[in-house]
Structure 1
């Protein structure tokens, strides 16, 4: 089942990138900010307090609720791209994404708290199924669902872009801000640094699944006390909605011993805030149960 494992891992990485690794609300940390006006907003001065900025962006995202998304991830000579659309609504979050990875297109749906991979002819042949989709759920009984289902479900439900600012408030800091024009629109531009050790601890705590002891030992050996950060740039429009997020993971990848000397960077762009988004689950008769497919395919 190498293909499914690869699909799940790639999807998890992509969703974590899109959501900037997620995060929980800071209860009582900052007063909720008012939602943006229905009329054309005027760009306010940049904020220096990440808690206040996170609260304002959260309220704005809650009002807009949906957007279109594009992502480009570069690591050395390798590049992955993705396009998608999402409704950011907690337990009712829905998301569709089309990714290009290793020259192959991946189509993914997240709806009703379950993730669906669309299978092509080679996938069906490997998995010995005639189904068009395979389902991975947080409560699935197969090893892949148990390993990645909860993390993916958590990441996608937290894919509200305002989580970026909430993570900054918990695991990083704003180092600089100014106002710049981006694609013809005046925006507030923030430079932030996210501390990798703190961010990883947040992810593990939020998902509720600790890393295996050997994995945690490796992370500690490579990261502990080294103050590795992920420099991130954020562009917010007049409604305090993200327009673009760029994260530079180069130092993190080098610290983890990933071979190669190239840049590792992810760029996420948000457009069409508040536009209608339609994401529906595939017909039940076209969906295969992953546990049964794994048994039939011999657990490969």
Structure 2
């Protein structure tokens, strides 16, 4: 495989994982019933903000699926900066998704990369459509990349990595129920008033979590040793990220119509905006045939062998 193709494949994998994992700082889903520090009153039946978000969490968790339109932007000056848009269907409990991604972030893969990437997640395995051009350089012209994250962690020989990866698989998509549970951890959750989202009447809520508060409420990080947790916290703080602002617009059916997560960095804001509809819709996700997929780990081994034996080919 030529060096340009190798770089394109690697870049696409990074973008896809970023798109799938963005906003993945979900909690364990055990939303708290009340928050002592929350005083704000909501226009929805005069309930407290915490009670409204708790009710929204319960309905969203029970719905188990929704249609999603998600956009993420990062400062161009930041590594991997740019924008990406994700559309499709997703389900939780169990995790399943069929997303299509496009945007300037895909340009990082170079001219060999596709303008759009389709990503399918089912049975804890991710499949990525690498595009027709990349398929020309993949084994037997297969255009689908298969990534079994649990198997990848197991092959790494790192027991802790395996436990972290398999326990966190359900956090690897933008699950609105988990995001609501995380928002309930905010000590300053408040109601901002009524608002209209795409013609739908909603009530607007906002909360802030520091990085440390987010990590304490994220059960996917429970597997980390104290020293590893501290190192992760230190690394995040080195980026200049102080915390996370989460906003949610709850419709009259007690479902989130929109959720925004903003992280302020020295180079500018990183923002994820998600709009949800069709809660509870049936999702039919078909994975590509085995004959059309190439295993990511096998490909990485091949690329390593080729890189070592072929030198700087192009």
Partner of 1:73: 72
1:169 and 2:168 are equivalent in the alignment: no
Structure 1 unaligned spans of 5+: 32-42, 255-259
Mean Cα deviation higher: 190-199 or 62-71: 62-71
**CA positional deviation for 1:288:** 1.7
Q: How big is the shift at 1:238?
A: 1.2
For 1:72 and 1:201, the matched residues in 2 are separated by: 27
TM-aligned CA deviation for residue 289 of structure 1: 2.1
Secondary structure at 2:298's aligned position in 1?
Answer: helix
- Please report how far the alpha carbon of residue 151 of structure 1 lies from its aligned counterpart in structure 2 after TM superposition: 7.4
**Equivalent pair of 2:132/2:143 in contact (CA under 8 Å):** no
Change (3 A) 1:48 1:196: farther
Aligned mates of 2:262, 2:33 — CA distance in 1: 28
1:134 maps onto 2:145 in alignment: yes
Question: What SS does structure 2 have at the residue aligned with 1:297?
Answer: helix
- TM-score under structure 1 normalisation? 0.75
How far off its partner does 1:53 sit?
3.8
CA spacing shift, 1:11–1:54, aligned 2, 3 Å: farther
Tell me if the contact between 1:18 and 1:268 (Cα under 8 Å) persists in the aligned partners. no
Cα distance in 1, alignment partners of residues 235 and 296 from structure 2: 35
What corresponds to 1:36 in structure 2? none
1:59 corresponding residue in structure 2: 58
RMSD value over aligned CA atoms?
A: 3.5
The C-alpha deviation readout for 1:64-109, integer Å capped at 9, x for no partner, is 3321111111223422111121122x1x321011111333322100
CA 1:126–1:217 in 2, change beyond 3 Å: closer, same or farther? farther
Give the secondary-structure state (helix, strand or coil) at the position aligned to 1:102.
helix
Match of 2:129 among 110, 113, 118: 118
Contact in 1 for aligned 2:49/2:205 (Cα 8 Å)? no
Give the secondary structure class of the aligned counterpart of 2:248: strand
Deviations 1:175-228 (A, max 9, x none): 33322222222111102112222213444x41555389689537427639x992
Larger CA Rg, structure 1 vs 2: 2
Q: Which residue of 257, 281, 285 maps to 2:287?
A: 281
> What residue number does 1:44 align with?
44
Count of residues in Structure 1 that have an aligned counterpart in Structure 2 = 273
Ranges in structure 2 where 5+ consecutive residues have no aligned partner: 1-5, 35-42, 77-81, 108-114, 308-314
Tell me what 1:30 maps to. 33
Query: d(CA) in 1 for partners of 2:232 and 2:176?
Result: 30
4+ long deviations beyond 6 Å: 145-148, 211-215
